Amino acid sequence: MTNKVILGLTFMLILIVPAMSLHASAQTSYTITGAGSTFVFPLMDTWRVDYNKIHQNIQLNYQSIGSGAGIKLLEQKSVDFAASDAPLSTADQQKAPGVLTFPDSIGAITIAYNIPGMDKGLKLTGPVIAQIFMGNITSWNDPAIANLNPGATLPNQNIVVAHRSDGSGTTYAFTDYLSKVSPDWKTKVGQGKSVPWPVGTGGNGNAGVANIVKTTQYAIGYVELAYVFQNNMTYAFVQNADGNSFVEPTLDTVAADATAASANLPAADGDWSKVSIVNQPGSNSYPISTLTYVMIYQDMSTINGETQDKSTEVVNFLTWILNDGQQYSSGLLYVPLPDSLKKIGEDGLAKVTFTGGAVPEFGPIAALVLAIAIVSIIAVSAKTGLRFSAKF
């Protein structure tokens, strides 16, 4: 091969390699994967749409499959992040070491019911709710309910209890509340993402329970506030922790409950397993409120198939939901995060690393270095008389 031919090939490489590199670097579309909480899904889906309007190369694939299933996928390292209304238990932390946890929203769990002709505002106490879900109060006109609602015409109809059939952070927070207000519930049923329900019909996700209540006369169930409003459902006013008023679930009353519990929360890399905001004191505190959480590995290189560039986009997205994304909360009946909770998330995301030795992109600089190397080799070969020959 003559020096002229070699030189010609060199110039072609100088032109082609950077062009190929620029083309590759333009392929910067990423799909961020998340899974878990159905409670936060209306807000998460809004974040998905609006973030993509700003960053059209980023798609969010969020699977609304319940907190328990989302945590399992996190433990299997098959999603970029999990969302849950229940923090990681001690056992979960052992299965998923190195996970950061921080709140992304605050919401209410309503006691939704379907009594024909009766509007929202049925008054219920925590102990009465517990007895209904234990199957000890079985009729809507039971004296325990009637005494709380003088003047109301309660039907002589059996109560149809609806509960979650899947592992659920909503169930975790609801049974946390019942365990705090009812010693009977605490000893016989307890708290968890899944519990041995004494009575009732199971529905998958918040949407499943909402559908049972909405389509079944005389039903009652626990459903996140956004689902209740989206489906035009009726719901109870629940007695506060102070025992001096029955509180409607609203943004203000949920915020009051969360504010009372927001002091002394752990850092993102701390233990959140004992954190609870239910049944906080205050005349205007709605007692069945919950934080919802994002969970992400501190070292993102441990996730199956993760790349350094993608992990950066995941952190960018989660940073956005903590800040700009909070503007969408109120319209969907979630309480925007106070600054103290935002800071927990921001400090946690600042600790995210990628230590797995990601392969760097082959950019224009790398292409130029390669071209110079080729030219150098050819120059040396021309000087020494070394010839190249292709053999196949």
Domain ranges of the chain: 3-24+362-384, 28-104+291-349, 108-261
Mean pLDDT on 196-201: 98
Residue 49: both structure tokens together: 């749409």
Give me the pLDDT at residue 319, please: 98
Give phi and psi for 163, each to the nearest 5: -145, 175
Residue 48: both structure tokens together: 């998905």
Residue 279: both structure tokens together: 């049944």
Is the pLDDT assigned to residue 21 strictly greater than 90? no
Contacting residues for 347 by C-beta, under 8 A, at least 6 apart? 267, 268
Is the pLDDT assigned to residue 13 strictly greater than 60? no
Is the pLDDT assigned to residue 37 strictly greater than 50? yes
Domain 28-104+291-349, second-level architecture? 3-Layer(aba) Sandwich (3.40)
Give me the pLDDT at residue 2, please: 52
CATH classification for the domain delimited by 108-261, as one of 3.40.50.300, 3.30.70.260, 3.90.1150.10, 3.40.190.10? 3.40.190.10
Is the pLDDT assigned to residue 110 strictly greater than 90? yes
Number of residues that make up the chain: 392
Per residue in 279-326, pLDDT tens?
999 999 999 999 999 999 999 999 999 999 999 999 999 999 999 999
Which is higher by pLDDT, 201 or 387?
A: 201
By three-state DSSP, how is residue 110 classified?
Answer: strand
Give me the pLDDT at residue 3, please: 52
Lay out the sheet containing 237-239: strands in order across: 123-124, 237-239, 246-247
Residue 106: both structure tokens together: 């605050």
Query: In angstroms, rounded to a whole number, what is the distance separating the alpha carbons of residues 208 and 221?
Result: 10
Is the pLDDT assigned to residue 224 strictly greater than 70? yes
Give me the pLDDT at residue 89, please: 94
Contact 176, 278 (CB under 8 A): yes
Per residue in 328-357, pLDDT tens?
999 999 999 999 999 999 999 999 999 974
Strands (E), the chain: 30-36, 58-64, 81-84, 99-113, 123-124, 160-164, 201-203, 219-224, 234-235, 237-239, 246-247, 289-297
Per residue in 268-283, pLDDT tens?
999 999 999 999 999 9
Query: In angstroms, rounded to a whole number, what is the distance separating the alpha carbons of residues 75 and 95?
Result: 6
